[in-house]
């Protein structure tokens, strides 16, 4: 069964770039689907960040678009998130997910990673 696993630093300094990778197992990213990132600040709800297709086509949350880059590496079967100029407000649990349904209007997250906590602090 498809599994997703987030990895990356758990602590990032303010103004630096947060970088996370989501490794997909038991499914080839090249086979289809969009792949996305969602975050959850401590004690708060879910926030959509963006998604990427195996071709590299992306959709981004407009409120984060100026700081976000999501990319895919099909040779390593993983996709990545970069969020620049981070502040304490970017402290959150970051989840990666597989997106089923018709992008972007009807897609939903059918498989999730366990999430990784990223703290922004000096």
Q: Which parts of this chain interact with another protein (CB under 8 A)?
A: 45-48, 59, 61-62, 95, 100-101, 104-110, 112-115
Q: What is the dihedral of CA 60, 91, 4, 63, to 10 degrees?
A: -10
Which residues are paired to 6 by β-bridges?
Answer: 22
Of the pair 9, 104, the CB lying nearest another protein is at 104
Shortest reach from residue 78's CB to another protein, in Å? 18
Distance between CA atoms of residues 122 and 54, nearest Å: 35
Shortest reach from residue 116's CB to another protein, in Å? 10
Of the pair 31, 108, the CB lying nearest another protein is at 108
Decide if 36 contacts 13 (C-beta within 8 A).
no
Q: Are strands 116-120 and 11-12 parallel, antiparallel or unpaired?
A: parallel
Of the pair 27, 48, the CB lying nearest another protein is at 48
Shortest reach from residue 68's CB to another protein, in Å? 12
């Amino acid at each position: 069964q498809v599994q997703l696993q987030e990895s990356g630093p758990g602590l990032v300094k303010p103004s630096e770039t947060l970088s996370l990778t989501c490794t997909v197992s038991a499914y080839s990213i090249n086979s289809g689907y969009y792949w996305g990132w969602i975050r959850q600040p401590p004690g708060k709800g879910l926030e959509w960040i963006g998604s990427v297709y195996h071709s590299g086509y992306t959709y981004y949350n407009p409120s984060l678009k100026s700081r976000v880059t999501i990319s895919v590496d099909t040779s390593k079967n993983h996709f990545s998130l970069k969020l620049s100029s981070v502040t304490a407000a970017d402290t959150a649990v970051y989840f990666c997910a597989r997106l089923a349904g018709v992008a972007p209007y009807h897609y939903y997250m059918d498989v999730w990673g366990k999430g990784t906590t990223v703290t922004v602090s000096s």
